[in-house]
């Protein structure tokens, strides 16, 4: 029985259960299920995403440290790809995903020891079977060496030697040294010898030798070809398309296309290459953490020769030669890509979800937005949906997400592409101001610098259509960022001139327009979208959409419950996209979820309405009855419902006898009125009435104006008078 190295108690390994978290482990396995949850491991930063950091625990196992688990902002984390870090394994999922936790200890001396976590059991670092000190690299012992791909491959070779292949390895090394002395390289010798070894026999031992030889072949061949690729090396491989690579695993192929992105891992350089049929990762290795083909950048048109493999259950091409194309060769590939892009980006024969004349009237606009979305996916540009943090906004954003995500997964072979190439970010008040735009621009420029990512396409849903979004849209335009607007509010002329495309239908909700855009973007999800428009109408749902929802099994009561549930969830943590929760509510129809959340919505709204109605101030202005509510005094701040939703409900209840409802707080107010009221004109007229009150429109979609708090009474009177004048 072993004794714990810390407390001396009897245990089945070098450390007892009590002191598992006092030591750090170097992982020597090749599968996630070999990890032990709650242990701290040494890892190597592989790369960043918007949602966290990927950390390699070994050459075959990567975990995700989600941004919510980090004790500081992700943007301020000073880790770089290739850095050795310490993390805790908190969960290993059934699908092999590894969840990581933050470790406040980020140096080895802060732990009480380092152990090896190997498939055959734990052991002390000094008892590890592989002796890295004897490596030609002069590497340090395994207790302190980060688990890079090169390390794992060295261990595989050392393991082969210990199994009795010393003589063959010695002769091979000698031959390599002789070749090197003659001006050749070790790579050229191994490339010639090892395929013969890997093909000898069909036994299990032969298969293992083949796998090990393949790994060595990858490392050494890539080193040799990197030296010669710039001279235009042509291996004579047959050209293939990315879409057909899964049928050619193990074969040598040639790909021609555009470099979509370049990312440097702790091991190889990964070039994401896109052709007319799809995108695939291509790994090129010089040595751990060193940039291969440094002259090849994102946007280059290239020819790549390599072997198709499956790595971590994903397609990958092991690069043997890579060269940027110029002249006629480049033009040929560019023309082929452009023709395929034009053909694939255009939706085929779009028809609206149902017979709805207002939507049918803007079919060309819907198709134009859908084409822009499809083109962005095909060009490997991220799609960022900015939507209002309301029920209508969330449904609109979810509809577009439902259409785009399958296209992203189809286009990109890597499993986490849905997180890299699609993002949904809620907006408060439905306007896109400089604060929002500055955050987005900072993030996209950081992604371009850090991950060589293309500038995204911005989709504004239930947002961005009014003049109060111009400052933010102009900042995006300065950087050449393409954007589109999808809304139930007519787009301002200045917005139309600034964005690439608009699809707006006054009199319909943004969710209705977005559902039709989604159907045009991806016809395969059309059946998932039929009930969405009905969910977004608070009252007077058009019969066509009520019938469409009923066909999908959503009657009027069910649509109401969904709308209320989403409105409640949209209020809390409004900066979060709530992807999984919205999917559960809108698409998976989780039993009881909508009913439970809707009940909370109704209880909270009714309680606030009782207080508000008891404190409404009634006024008569030029023969028009007006209801005025001091929301500072008679509502609960920072609690549900938001003021805009509360005033919407007050107006619905009292509009027959009181056509105008105004709610005012310290320096802002909301206007609700029966009939068409232009809030911009109200703001201008009110400013003339009270020129020292600083009245201006702040949220045109939500009927919100701002003023100087010291002129509150004067501002409220001026706005009410200007509103009544328009009735």
pLDDT of residue 5: 81
Between these two residues, 535 and 181, which has the higher pLDDT value?
A: 535
**Structure tokens given for 472:** 């933010």
Residue 66: name the closest of 576, 691, 600 by CA: 576
The set of long-range contacts for 477-484, using a CB threshold of 8 Å and a minimum separation of 24, is 479/441, 479/444, 479/445, 479/455, 480/455, 481/441, 481/444, 481/455, 481/456, 481/457, 482/372, 482/376, 482/457, 482/458, 483/457, 483/458, 483/459, 484/369, 484/372, 484/373, 484/457, 484/458, 484/459, 484/460
| Integer angstrom CA distances of residue 176 from 214, 221, 621 | 18, 14, 97
pLDDT of residue 183: 36
Number of Cβ atoms within 10 Å of the Cβ of 154: 20
Q: Kindly report, residue by residue over 71-90, the tens digit of the pLDDT.
A: 777 777 888 889 999 999 99
Model confidence at 444, pLDDT cuts 50, 70, 90, reads very high
Decide if pLDDT at 266 tops 60: yes
463 Cβ contact list (under 8 Å, min separation 6): 386, 387, 388, 393, 427, 430, 431, 432, 469, 487, 701
629 sits in which H/E element: strand 624-630
pLDDT of residue 554: 93
Quick one: average pLDDT of 554-562?
Answer: 94
Quick one: average pLDDT of 174-202?
Answer: 34
pLDDT of residue 284: 93
pLDDT of residue 676: 81
Quick one: average pLDDT of 200-228?
Answer: 37
**Across the strands, what pairs with 668?**
706
Decide if pLDDT at 117 tops 70: yes
Give pTM, 2 decimals.
Answer: 0.63
Between these two residues, 314 and 611, which has the higher pLDDT value?
A: 611
CATH class for domain 615-726?
Answer: alpha beta
41 sits in which H/E element: strand 40-49
Alpha-carbon distance of 662 to 334, in angstroms, equals 58
Answer yes or no: same fold for 2-147 and 149-326. Answer: yes
Beta strands (DSSP E) in 237-395 are 252-264, 269-274, 279-284, 301-311, 314-324, 383-388
Decide if pLDDT at 509 tops 60: yes
Which percentage of the chain shows pLDDT scores above 70?
84
Quick one: average pLDDT of 573-578?
Answer: 78
Phi-psi region of 164 (alpha: psi -120 to 50; beta: other; left: phi over 0): left
Decide if pLDDT at 567 tops 50: yes
**Structure tokens given for 265:** 């891992």
Domain boundaries, the chain: 2-147, 149-326, 347-598, 615-726
Quick one: average pLDDT of 531-536?
Answer: 97
DSSP 8-state symbol, 247: G
Model confidence at 574, pLDDT cuts 50, 70, 90, reads confident
pLDDT of residue 305: 95
Alpha-carbon distance of 449 to 75, in angstroms, equals 13
pLDDT of residue 451: 75
Q: Kindly report, residue by residue over 66-76, the tens digit of the pLDDT.
A: 887 887 777 77
Decide if pLDDT at 33 tops 80: yes
Model confidence at 139, pLDDT cuts 50, 70, 90, reads very low
Quick one: average pLDDT of 567-585?
Answer: 86
Quote the mean pLDDT of the chain: 83
User: Sheet harboring 422-427: ordered strands across?
Assistant: 422-427, 383-388, 457-461, 483-487, 501-504
Does 149-326 carry CATH code 1.10.275.10? no
Decide if pLDDT at 193 tops 80: no
pLDDT of residue 18: 80
723 Cβ contact list (under 8 Å, min separation 6): 660, 662, 671, 673, 677, 682
Would you identify the CATH topology of the domain 2-147? Answer: OB fold (Dihydrolipoamide Acetyltransferase, E2P) (2.40.50)
Does 347-598 carry CATH code 3.40.50? no
pLDDT of residue 49: 82
pLDDT of residue 286: 86
Q: Could you tell me the sign of the dihedral formed by the alpha carbons of 203, 207, 210, 212, in that order?
A: negative
Quick one: average pLDDT of 422-451?
Answer: 90
**Three-state SS annotation for 432-470:** CCHHHHHHHHHHHHHHHHHHCCCCCEEEEECCCCCHHHH
Between these two residues, 412 and 98, which has the higher pLDDT value?
A: 98
pLDDT of residue 204: 38
pLDDT of residue 227: 38
Decide if pLDDT at 570 tops 50: yes
């Amino acid at each position: 029985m072993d004794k714990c190295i810390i407390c001396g108690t009897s245990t089945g390994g070098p450390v007892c259960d009590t002191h598992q978290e006092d030591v750090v482990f170097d992982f020597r396995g090749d599968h996630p299920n070999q990890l032990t949850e709650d242990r701290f491991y040494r890892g190597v930063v592989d790369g960043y995403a918007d949602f966290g950091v990927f950390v390699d625990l070994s050459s075959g196992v990567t975990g995700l440290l989600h941004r919510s688990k980090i004790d500081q902002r992700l943007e301020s984390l000073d880790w770089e790809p290739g850095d050795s870090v310490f993390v805790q394994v908190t969960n290993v999922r059934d699908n092999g995903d590894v969840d990581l936790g933050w470790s406040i200890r980020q140096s080895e001396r802060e732990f009480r020891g380092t152990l090896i976590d190997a498939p055959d059991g734990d052991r002390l670092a000094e008892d590890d079977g592989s002796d890295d000190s004897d490596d030609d690299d002069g590497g340090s012992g395994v207790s302190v060496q980060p688990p890079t791909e090169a390390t794992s491959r060295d261990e595989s070779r050392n393991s082969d030697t210990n199994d009795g292949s010393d003589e063959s390895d010695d002769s091979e090394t000698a031959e390599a040294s002789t070749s090197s002395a003659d001006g050749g390289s070790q790579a050229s010798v191994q490339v010639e010898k090892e395929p013969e070894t890997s093909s000898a026999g069909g036994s299990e031992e032969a298969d293992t030798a083949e796998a090990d030889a393949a790994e060595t072949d990858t490392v050494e061949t890539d080193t040799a070809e990197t030296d010669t690729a710039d001279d235009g090396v042509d291996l004579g491989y047959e050209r293939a398309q990315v879409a057909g690579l899964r049928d050619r695993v193990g074969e040598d192929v040639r790909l021609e296309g555009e470099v979509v992105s370049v990312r440097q891992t702790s091991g190889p350089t990964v070039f994401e290459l896109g052709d007319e049929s799809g995108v695939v990762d291509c790994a090129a290795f010089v040595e751990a953490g060193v940039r291969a083909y440094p002259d090849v950048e994102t946007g280059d048109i290239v020819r790549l020769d390599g072997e198709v493999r499956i790595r971590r259950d994903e397609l990958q091409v092991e690069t043997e030669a890579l060269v940027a194309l110029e002249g006629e060769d480049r033009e040929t590939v560019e023309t082929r890509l452009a023709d395929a892009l034009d053909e694939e980006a255009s939706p085929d024969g779009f028809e609206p979800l149902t017979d709805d004349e207002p939507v049918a009237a803007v079919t060309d606009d819907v198709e134009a937005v859908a084409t822009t979305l499809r083109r962005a996916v095909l060009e490997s540009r991220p799609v960022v949906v900015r939507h209002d943090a309301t029920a209508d906004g969330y449904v609109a954003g979810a509809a577009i997400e439902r259409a785009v995500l399958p296209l992203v997964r189809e286009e990109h072979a890597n499993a986490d592409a849905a997180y890299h190439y699609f993002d949904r970010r809620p907006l408060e008040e439905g306007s896109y101001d400089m604060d929002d735009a500055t955050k987005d621009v900072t993030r996209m420029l950081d992604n371009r610098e850090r991950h060589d990512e293309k500038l995204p396409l911005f989709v504004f849903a239930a947002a961005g259509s009014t003049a109060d979004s111009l400052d933010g849209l102009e900042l995006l335009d300065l950087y050449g960022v393409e954007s589109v607007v999808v809304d139930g509010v007519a787009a301002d002329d200045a917005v139309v001139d600034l964005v690439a495309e608009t699809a707006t239908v006054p009199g319909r909700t943004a969710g209705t327009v977005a559902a039709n855009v989604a159907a045009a973007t991806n016809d395969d999800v059309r059946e998932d979208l039929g009930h969405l428009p009905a969910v977004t109408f608070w009252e007077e749902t058009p019969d066509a959409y009520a019938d469409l929802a009923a066909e999908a099994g959503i009657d009027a009561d069910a649509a109401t419950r969904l709308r209320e549930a989403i409105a409640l969830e949209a209020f809390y943590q409004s900066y979060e996209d709530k992807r999984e929760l919205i999917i559960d509510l809108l698409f998976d129809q989780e039993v009881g979820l909508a009913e439970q959340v809707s009940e909370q919505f109704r209880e909270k709204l009714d309680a606030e309405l009782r207080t508000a109605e008891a404190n409404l101030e009634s006024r008569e202005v030029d023969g028009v009855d007006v209801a005025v509510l001091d929301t500072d005094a008679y509502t609960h701040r920072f609690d549900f419902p938001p003021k805009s939703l509360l005033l919407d409900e007050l107006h619905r209840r009292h509009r027959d006898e009181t056509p105008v409802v105004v709610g005012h707080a310290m320096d802002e107010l909301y206007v609700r009125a029966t009939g068409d009221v232009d809030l911009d004109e109200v703001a201008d007229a009110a400013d003339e009435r009270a020129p020292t009150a600083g009245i201006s429109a702040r949220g045109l979609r939500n009927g919100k104006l701002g003023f100087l708090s010291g002129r509150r009474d004067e501002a409220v009177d001026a706005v009410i008078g200007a509103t009544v004048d328009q009735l």
